[in-house]
Amino acid sequence: LFIGNHKTPVTKWYMKVKPTEMKADSGRIKPKVLPQELIRRHHRIAFIGIMHDNLSKAFVNILEEDPQHRWDQVFVLFPSDSCLKNTLVQNYSMQPVEKLIENKNACRSSLHELLSPVVSDLRFLTYDQLMHCGSYWDWCDPGGFIHVSPLTWGANPKTCPAMNYYWNSKVPSPEYRVYRDGLGYLLKTATPF
């Protein structure tokens, strides 16, 4: 006697998707900030973004609590100067492109100084075509996590809605694999910075 359905369910591929909470503050959307616990807990991290201006502060806080903390890989991907000039300028209407480029270079410099002693494989890269911003946390292993922030035309990237993808099954969901493979492609095509 068999009870129930013993066939593989059509919905065997599922993913946990949770929108990033964007709490309102005085009628304005609160900018996203990096969760320090993720930086502390994960050993392979990739950041695809524009300015990465909050990144140093998050790593400093962790290293102040635990000066012996180490990471296996940290990849930080910035837009190329031409990408900033031609594509992203509309998202930063309050700052001239030259200032964005200056801030990007200063951020790269401070991150390099801070992370070089504590990261085994530290890479700074630039890309020419921005599809989304995101962060990848142990993305090649079960328990991995991918945060994706699609850009909205004319909006500040720090306040655009986002989605989170988790590898919470034996194999990653097809959606998770698309973003993981996208990072693989980007890492192959990006240039050292």
Q: What is the pLDDT of residue 167?
A: 94
Dist CA 160 CA 112 (whole Å):
27
Q: What is the pLDDT of residue 141?
A: 95
Instruction: For CA atoms 121, 110, 58, 148, give the dihedral sign.
Output: negative
Dist CA 184 CA 178 (whole Å):
10
Q: What is the pLDDT of residue 159?
A: 73
pLDDT along the chain (193 residues), means of 10: 54 50 52 75 92 88 96 96 77 75 93 98 92 90 90 69 88 93 94 95
Q: Supply the pTM of this predicted model.
A: 0.79
Q: What is the pLDDT of residue 83?
A: 84
CB 166 within 8 Å of CB 144: yes
Dist CA 146 CA 182 (whole Å):
11
Structure tokens at 110: 């401070």
